[in-house]
Structures are given as structure tokens and as C-alpha cells.
A and B are shown apart, each in its own frame.
Chain A
């Protein structure tokens, strides 16, 4: 039995809720609030656009940029003029009620309603999981057509006041398009660079890092809107520009904060927008004129279809991956209108545009039609036409290597042919970026980190976190479950020897170093050099790992018996995070302890209670430190695991010390917790063994 949410997209339901609420308010006798344009443009729209721009899949966007631009610019222009012209014709023929509407007013109306709305598109396309190409085409178009809409809107609004429109005005209008769009992008880039530069220095004030992202982006939006440039393009440009540098500079927690805040705000905005649309429909003054409304609706659809068909025919001459008729249908069908059109119309002045109410009614009808009818039917149509859906590909390290290899190969071939193509310029941009820009905008050593390594660390982090969240070693989510290093490189298999026992003074050395580290604030580990406490033998102890895994599996059975919360239940991340503080399974099982030196820290010492607390707060970071309730009495027990070579441990437990994943952990732990101690701001981490 299909539930309501399978049939009706969320946007429709929200509008219905708005209608109900509006009806309720009216029924009570109050005047329902209308979606005021400044609230919409200043507060409701920016979060959605910022969310879209910050997480824009840049690779696909730039690959299809030509297509997107043509759809956005030429498509919108075509829609506006076609619709405006036809509506003018209808008005002239429509009898006394419509005769007085001038050509310019009609063109203005056409320009308002012709723009595909990003909010509506996002709301509907998110749910149908269509393939990335179509998604980026329609969505990119909805974002970039803002410049066209702004220009046309202001142009026609101005012209409607003129006595005569000369050719000069038209040419100036044409030029203003470039100013508006490129100016918007320019403003966005400036603020993006400033934000990236600021984030370079935030290593000591990690808590306010997300603020810079939001603040600078919003300022970009406001600055652009101030000068009548395209605010949406500024917002997107700033998000796109700042993202790679900011993400390289900020801590892991700030990154999570930014992500969740953006998603939260954009969800709230979207919901509010649709509800308000419903309420405004009930509240607004309407003037229903059958001819006008019906013909608007009809011509909107026709204009869209024609536009897409003609443009695709033109674009396919230049594309390698041609757009099939199915794709064209989805693009045409996905041209939803939304709240931007409504708000733009609401901004119109009554004095000059007396027929504003009629426009509003028509716009609302079109919005309702596209959102309800097209929004509801697009999902079954996608299934019916068997349009390719989004592939849930896991980005693997292999893919990354191959993609980079291919990029370099194609660049090389282009150089050999003497052809300055797409790859050549992309490569030049990357080199410029690496040589100059990254040095300015990224703090410290990270500026030199090549992309492959960064990607690899990200993946390791992700897998380590996944591992910890899933509550234990036995439930390794990844596919690399039984393949270990000896499957691919048997020469490294040691004959015997699990772990050499440490001599007494080595143990003492370890203790001394660890104790010292409790007193120092930790510097950010920078280099990738391995500081091994003891010599290389640790690197070859693969047998140890297998043994551990077997024991872990046995132990898991035992653990399941005496844990209060059953460990196998895959809780929500928050639940499992709360549990991990007391879940010894998240780390190495105690069974290993026979072979490893156990270093006990006296709980009476001043540092350890705080260390324990911080550990309980930040359990994810420190490999090899299981703070379980039973152990609290004896203080912190540290097990010196052999520092496994990064990435070769298929169990992906972060090795102690220096593996790059551990350094990532350490970075995230450098965030001050709620009670940052001045001299001991960091939890107990072994360093430089």
C-alpha cells in the first residue's frame, strides 16, 4: 500500500498545510499573513541557495556548464518573450477586461513566470533520485537563470514607466545582463576568497569557524542585491570558491556543523516557503480571469517544451554525451515554477501595475499546477520511462586513482596533439591553484597535500568513523572484510613472532614520553613521517591483526552477554555515540592485553580525571583507549598497539601515533571541549613514540 509520501511530494503537502492554516486563520476572522517579499528574499531564500551552492557537485557542473548556460539564458529569454508576446495577443483579443494591459506589462509578466524555480526543483528532484546529469542540468539551470530574471524584471519595470523605449535602452539592457551576472559572480568570488583567507587563521578559535562561512556568504548575497546584481549567483560563486580552501582549514567538527546547519536552515526555509505560499493563496487578493489564467498555463507549458526541444537539438551538436528524448522530456517536465515568481510579482507596484492581482492569480495557478500535477506525476513517469536513476556509487580509492590517471593522460595527449582543449586548461588551472592560491589560502602543511592523499585520508576517516559507529569490529561495513595485506603481498608475511616483548627501559621510556605529553599542549602534527617507538618489526606483525580479529569475534559473543545495551543493534549515530563511551567493543578487545605492555595512569594524578572526561566526550578519536565503566576505577589503561602502516590495516583502527588517519583524529580532538583546560587542552594522546 503506497503511503502518502510516496505519491505526493513534500512540497505539495506543505502547500496544502498552508492552505489549511490560511483557511483556519481566515475562518477565525483574522487576516492571514502574506509572504512578504523582503522576508522571502532576505531570509528565506539565501539558506537554500547557499546549501545548494556549497554542496554543488562541481565536476559535473563544469562539465555541463555550456549546456546549463544555454538552457538558463537562452531558454529563459525564449520563455519570457514567447509567453509575453502571446499573452499580449491574448489580451488584445480578450475583450474589455484585458485590453488595457500593455505589451510591456505582458513582457514583464512573462519574465516573472518564465524562470524555473530552484526551490521547487530541489524539493521535487531530491525525492526522485534521478541520475546526476539530469539533476545538475535542471538544477543548474534553475540557479543560473536568476541573472536573466533579475535583468528582465528590472528592465521591464523601468521601461513600463518610460514613454518610449529606444534602441539604446534595449542595447543597454542587453549589456546590463552581462554586468548583472558577471558582477554577481565577481562579488561572490571576492567574498569567497576573503572567507577562505579568514579560515586560514582560525586554528585557535575553532568554535566560530562555521560562522565565517555563513556570514561571508550572506554578505556576498546582500552586497550583490544592494547593487542590483544577481544575489543568487554571488551566493553560489562564494560557496563554490570558498569550499575547497575552507574545508582544508577547518576542523572536522566545524565541517560537520556547517553541513548540518546548512541542511537544517535550508529545510526550514523550504518548508516555510511552501506553507506561506499556501497561506498567501488564501489571504491574497485574487482576480480570476478565465482567459488569462488558462492561456498563461497553456503557453507556459508549450513554451517550455518547445524551448527544450529546439535548444537540445542545437546543443546536441556540441555534446559528446547527447541528450536523448527521454532526457529532454524530463528536462521539460522538470521546469517547475515556485515562490520566486510569486514574490517578484508581489513586489510590483500597484500604481503602475493595476492588474497585479490578476497576475498574482495566474502565477499562483501556474505554481500550483507545476508543483502539484507535475511534481506528483514525475515520479511515476520516471519509473515508466525507465530513466536512469542515481547510482549509489561509493567513491573508492581505485576510482580516484583511475580518474586522476585518466585526467593526466588526456592532458598529456592534448599536449602532444598541440590542442588546447578542456583538459589542458583544467590542468593549467589546477597548477595555478596549487602553486599560488593554495599557499595563500590554506594554513600550514595542508597547502601542499596532494589531492590523492587528501581523498585517501577522508576515506580512512569515514571508514574509521563508520566502524566506530557500527559499534564493533565484527560489523565491518566495508567490503574489504577478509582481504588483508598478506593476500596481496605474501612476501611480507612474517614467519612467527607476534610481538616482541618490550624491555624494561623501553617501557619506562614509553611512560615518560606519555606523561610528558599530558602536560604539554599538543602541537598539530604535521609531517607524515613515522615516528616509531621501536624499530620496524611492528610493521610486519600482520599475524597479530588476524589473531586479534579472531579474538574479537569470540569476544563479541561474550560481550553481548554482559553489556546492558545489546551491541548488535545498529542504533542511530547519536545513540551509538552515546554508547561508545561505555562500549569497549569500539576499540581493541582486552583479550590482547597479555602481549602488550599495560601502562596505568594513577587516577590520583591531576590530569587523568579530565583526561577521562575528555575521552568520554571524544571517544572516536583515540585509537586503543577504551574507557569502559569497569576500567574507570583503575584509571586510564593504554595499550601500545603496533603502529600499523596507514591504510594497510583492513580493520581500519586508527594506529597510535603518526598514521595520517590518526593525525586527522588528533586534529578533530584539538577542538576545545566545553571545559577547555588552559594547560591541558588535549586529551591524552601518545605522541612520538
Chain B
């Protein structure tokens, strides 16, 4: 129902594998924002994100913007980066940040959690090979610390190395001196996040303003 409302530019209801339950008010709000960002075009490109002033201060803005165009997040079968996204894609990305709902059962909760973690995983794994390698992890830490220009690359590297070693020991346990840990796969990633309640942490509050309407 929500998506079938006559919002100009919004698509008709479509069967998503993972129902993005957002209400019509929220969709209108997002649509307004979309039009603002795209300057009334139908699609957004990467350059449009530069017009957001606060995003400048964000150390990982590159990765965030990249995530919007990542075809894996847009649930498209192909791989790689899209050049432009339309409003439907924008909504798809936003749906990853829905807050948890009380009436979810175990299986839904698990799928919910996995989807969010997959989004995060894609952000870490920049070369799309399904593994977070040491270099990619170092890259992440460097970006996180990029707000401090005087820092040496050494510190970021050593933090990433230490973190990677810890991840290896969590995921694989004891390793002999000859074994090599290729990188963090998605299963390992899930293990690492076991202690943290991602489903309660990874949400943007405004997506919960009104009662949720389901879209089938």
C-alpha cells in the first residue's frame, strides 16, 4: 500500500525479498530529499552527494557514497558500481537502516541482522571479492583516522594489523606458523559481530516515526 501511493517518481509496488516497510510519510520525506539532492532529476550521481555540507567532515564519506552505488547493495544481480541510482534504489539503501520491530520472529530477526551486516561487509570489502583482506582493513582504519592529518601511516597500519590478528584468532583459533589467514569472510564477519546487537544499533531514528505499514 505504502509504495502504491501516487508519489511522483516513486515506483509501483514491487516484491522485495526483504520488505522495506516504510510508511508513506517517510517515503514522501525521502522523496523530497531525493529531489533536493538530485536537483529535480530522476537519478542521482556521485557528484550530487558533494552538495551535503555536513558530509565533508565525515572520515568515511567515500565509503558511504560508494555504498549507495554498490550493485550488491542495490540487489542487482550484477557486480560492480552503478553510475546513477533512482529513487527506488535510494529507498532500497535506506531500508537497510530500518529499526527493529517488536513483532518479528526469530527467522525474520536473523535475516534482518544478516542483511544489515551484509551491507557493512560490502562497505569494508571494497574490491568485491567476498573477503576483507589485510590491505582493505588497513584502508578502513586509515580512513577512520584520516581526520588527523599529522598522524603517521604506521599507527593506522599497526592498529589494523592487531585487529586483523585478533579477528584471525577469533575466527580460526590457534594457527600454526605456516598457515595463512586470507581474509575475513562473511561468516567470520558474522562471528565478530556476535557480541554486538547490530539490529538495535544500526538504525536511523526517523524511519520509525509513524506506525509501520507493510508493503507486500
Binding site for B on A (CB under 8 A): 320-322, 391, 393, 396-399, 401-406, 408-419, 421-424, 427, 431, 448, 450, 452-453, 456, 479-490, 528-530, 546, 645-648, 650, 660
Contacts and interface: CB of A to CB of B under 8 A. Distances in A.
B76 interface: no
Contact of A487 (B49, B165, B170): B165
B100 A320 contact: yes
Contacts of A480: 165-166, 169
B140 interface: yes
B129 interface: no
B185 interface: no
Contact of B59 (A402, A408, A486): A408
A404 B144 contact: yes
A530 B158 CA distance: 13
* Most interface-central of A393, A546, A646 (chain B CB within 10 A): A646
* Most interface-central of B123, B154, B162 (chain A CB within 10 A): B162
B175 A320 contact: no
A648 B158 contact: yes
Contacts of B10: none
Given A320-B208, A397-B162, A483 B145 contact: no
A397 B196 CA distance: 13
A320 B64 contact: no
A650 B165 contact: yes
Given A448-B148, A453-B151, A479 B170 contact: yes
27 contacts: A320-B100, A321-B200, A396-B163, A397-B159, A398-B167, A402-B196, A408-B64, A409-B120, A413-B64, A413-B94, A414-B204, A415-B58, A416-B64, A417-B30, A419-B204, A419-B206, A421-B204, A421-B206, A423-B204, A452-B144, A480-B166, A483-B169, A487-B175, A546-B177, A645-B154, A645-B158, A648-B162
A453 B155 contact: yes
Nearest to A422: B205
Given A405-B144, A416-B52, A398 B192 contact: yes
A530 B141 contact: no
Contacts of B206: 417, 419, 421
A421 B196 CA distance: 22
A479 B191 CA distance: 15
A181 B164 CA distance: 47
Given A402-B196, A485-B165, 13 more contacts: A397-B162, A398-B192, A401-B144, A409-B64, A415-B55, A417-B94, A427-B57, A456-B162, A480-B165, A487-B181, A490-B180, A528-B152, A647-B158
* Most interface-central of A401, A414, A416, A427 (chain B CB within 10 A): A416
B147 interface: yes
B200 A452 contact: no
Interface of B: 30, 33, 36-37, 49, 52, 54-55, 57-61, 64, 94, 97, 99-100, 102, 120, 123, 134, 140-141, 144-145, 147-148, 150-152, 154-155, 157-159, 161-170, 172, 174-177, 179-181, 192-193, 195-196, 200-206, 208
Contact of A413 (B141, B154, B192, B204): B204
B202 A485 contact: no
A479 B52 CA distance: 43
A528 B60 contact: no
A87 to B, nearest CB: 38
Nearest to A530: B154
A448 B155 CA distance: 14
A485 B55 contact: no
Nearest to B58: A412
A661 to B, nearest CB: 10
Closest 7 CB pairs of A and B: A647-B158, A647-B162, A412-B64, A415-B54, A419-B206, A483-B169, A397-B163
B205 A320 contact: yes
* Most interface-central of A393, A398, A529 (chain B CB within 10 A): A398
A487 B180 contact: yes
Given A393-B195, A487-B175, A401 B140 contact: yes
A322 B104 CA distance: 13
B193 A405 contact: no
B140 A488 contact: no
B194 to A, nearest CB: 10
A277 B154 CA distance: 58
Contact of A647 (B33, B58, B151, B159): B159
B198 to A, nearest CB: 8
A582 B167 CA distance: 36
Nearest to B205: A421
Contacts of B181: 483, 487-488
Contact of A483 (B30, B64, B175, B202): B175
Contact of B174 (A481, A528, A660): A481
Contacts of B165: 480, 483-485, 487-488, 648, 650
Given A480-B169, A483-B165, A488 B195 contact: no
Contacts of A416: 33, 37, 49, 52, 55, 64
A306 to B, nearest CB: 23
Nearest to B189: A402
B47 to A, nearest CB: 14
B57 A431 contact: yes
A408 B161 CA distance: 21
Contacts of A397: 159, 162-163, 166
Given A412-B64, A453-B145, A480-B165, A391 B52 contact: no
Nearest to A410: B204
Nearest to A421: B205
Given A416-B55, A417-B206, A391 B159 contact: no
Contact of B134 (A399, A415, A489): A489
A442 to B, nearest CB: 14
A485 B161 contact: yes
B145 A452 contact: yes
